[in-house]
Copies of this chain bind each other. A is one copy, B any other.
Amino acid sequence: MNALLPLAAAGAGHGSEAVPTILLVLAFVVVGAKLAGELVERLGQPAVLGELLVGIVLGNAALFGGPDMSGLAASETFTVLAELGAVLLLFHVGLESTPKEMMAVGGRATLVAVVGVVTPMLLGFAVGELARPDESWMLHAFLGAMLAATSVGITARVLKDADSLRTSFARIILGAAVIDDVLGLLVLAVISGIITAAATGAALSGGTIALILAKAFLFLAGALVVGSVLSPRVFRGALALRSRGVVQALSLGFCFVLSYLALRAGLAPIVGAFAAGLVLEEVHFEGHVKRGEPPLHESLEPLIGLLVPVFFVRMGMLVDVRSFASPSVLGFAALLTLAAIVGKLACALATPKGISGLTVGLGMMPRGEVGLIFAGIGAQLVLNGRPVVDAGTYAAAVFMVVATTMATPPLLLWSIRKP
- Point out residues on A near B: beta carbons under 8 Å: 1-16, 18-20, 22-24, 26-28, 30-31, 33-35, 37-38, 41, 47, 75-77, 79-80, 82-84, 86-87, 185, 188-190, 192-193, 196-197, 200, 202, 204-205, 208-209, 211-212, 241-243, 245-246, 248-250, 252-257, 259-260, 262-270, 294, 298-303, 305-306, 369-370, 373-374, 376-377, 380-381
Q: Which of B33, B83, B205, B246 contacts A14 (CB 8 A)?
A: B83
Q: How far is the CA of A387 from the CA of B341 in the complex (A)?
A: 63
Docked-complex contact B19 and A263, CB < 8 angstroms: yes
Q: How far is the CB of A264 from chain B (nearest CB, A)?
A: 7
| Consensus secondary structure, chain A interface | helix
The answer to whether residues A6 and B268 also contact, given A38-B243, A79-B19, A263-B12 and a CB cut-off of 8 A, is no
Docked-complex contact B300 and A2, CB < 8 angstroms: no
Q: Which of B34, B252, B303 contacts A249 (CB 8 A)?
A: B34
Docked-complex contact B253 and A3, CB < 8 angstroms: no
Q: How far is the CA of A86 from the CA of B31 in the complex (A)?
A: 21
Q: Supply 18 further A-B pairs (C-beta < 8 A) apart from A30-B253, A252-B306.
A: A3-B192, A3-B212, A4-B193, A7-B212, A8-B266, A10-B266, A15-B79, A15-B80, A15-B269, A19-B83, A27-B252, A30-B252, A34-B246, A77-B80, A294-B302, A299-B302, A299-B305, A303-B306
Query: How many copies, total?
Result: 2
Q: How far is the CB of A380 from chain B (nearest CB, A)?
A: 8
Residues of B within 8 A of A243 (CB): 34, 37-38, 41, 47
Residues of B within 8 A of A23 (CB): 87, 256-257, 259-260, 263, 269
Q: How far is the CA of A376 from the CA of B253 in the complex (A)?
A: 33
Q: How far is the CA of A342 from the CA of B197 in the complex (A)?
A: 69
Residue picked from A80, A189, A193, most chain B C-beta under 10 Å: A80
Docked-complex contact B188 and A10, CB < 8 angstroms: yes
Residues of B within 8 A of A245 (CB): 34, 301, 305
Q: How far is the CA of A369 from the CA of B83 in the complex (A)?
A: 28
Q: How far is the CA of A252 from the CA of B27 in the complex (A)?
A: 7
Docked-complex contact A24 and B257, CB < 8 angstroms: yes
29 A-B residue pairs with Cβ-Cβ distance under 8 Å, sorted by A, are A2-B202, A6-B192, A6-B381, A7-B185, A7-B188, A7-B266, A9-B192, A10-B188, A10-B373, A11-B266, A11-B268, A11-B269, A13-B373, A14-B370, A20-B260, A23-B269, A24-B256, A26-B252, A26-B256, A27-B255, A28-B253, A31-B253, A34-B246, A77-B80, A248-B305, A294-B298, A294-B301, A299-B305, A303-B306
Docked-complex contact B263 and A20, CB < 8 angstroms: yes
Docked-complex contact B30 and A208, CB < 8 angstroms: no
Q: How far is the CA of A250 from the CA of B267 in the complex (A)?
A: 36
Docked-complex contact B301 and A2, CB < 8 angstroms: no
Residues of B within 8 A of A3 (CB): 189-190, 192-193, 196-197, 204-205, 208-209, 212
The answer to whether residues A192 and B20 also contact, given A34-B241, A253-B31 and a CB cut-off of 8 A, is no
Residues of B within 8 A of A38 (CB): 241-243
Residues of B within 8 A of A18 (CB): 76, 79-80
Q: How far is the CB of A310 from chain B (nearest CB, A)?
A: 12
Docked-complex contact A269 and B19, CB < 8 angstroms: yes
Docked-complex contact B250 and A31, CB < 8 angstroms: yes
A32 to chain B: closest residue by CB: B253
Docked-complex contact A9 and B377, CB < 8 angstroms: yes
Q: Which of B34, B84, B196 contacts A6 (CB 8 A)?
A: B196
